[in-house]
Structure 1
Amino acid sequence: MKKEELMAIIEQRIRECQACPLWLQRTNVVPGEG
């Protein structure tokens, strides 16, 4: 997966869950695993 695609997914996840500080602290985790 390209870094650009990963960043796009991360941005989408953040928009879907803007009230998730724990998730934001774990940006190194692939979305869906944590």
Structure 2
Amino acid sequence: MSKAFTHHIERHNLNLRIHIKRLARISRDNMNPLYTP
């Protein structure tokens, strides 16, 4: 496996993780409107 491809996968995984965190935060806020961080 080439380095560039590995780097692409790692960056993609990072973006995915950030996106999932954001989605989880949004859904949690929707389920509990009184929630304060």
CA RMSD of aligned residues (A): 1.5
TM-score, normalised to structure 1, is 0.52
Runs of 5+ in structure 2 lacking a partner? Answer: 1-15
Determine the structure 2 residue equivalent to 1:6.
21
Which of the pair has the greater relative contact order for Cα pairs under 8 Å at 6+ separation? Answer: 1
| 4+ aligned runs moved over 4 Å, structure 1 | none
Q: Which amino acid aligns with 2:27?
A: Q
Aligned length: 22
Determine the structure 1 residue equivalent to 2:32.
17
Identity of aligned residues (%): 5
Runs of 5+ in structure 1 lacking a partner? Answer: 26-34
Structure having the higher helix fraction is 2
TM-superposition CA deviations, 1:1-34 (whole Å, max 9, x none): 61001100000000000012xxx22xxxxxxxxx
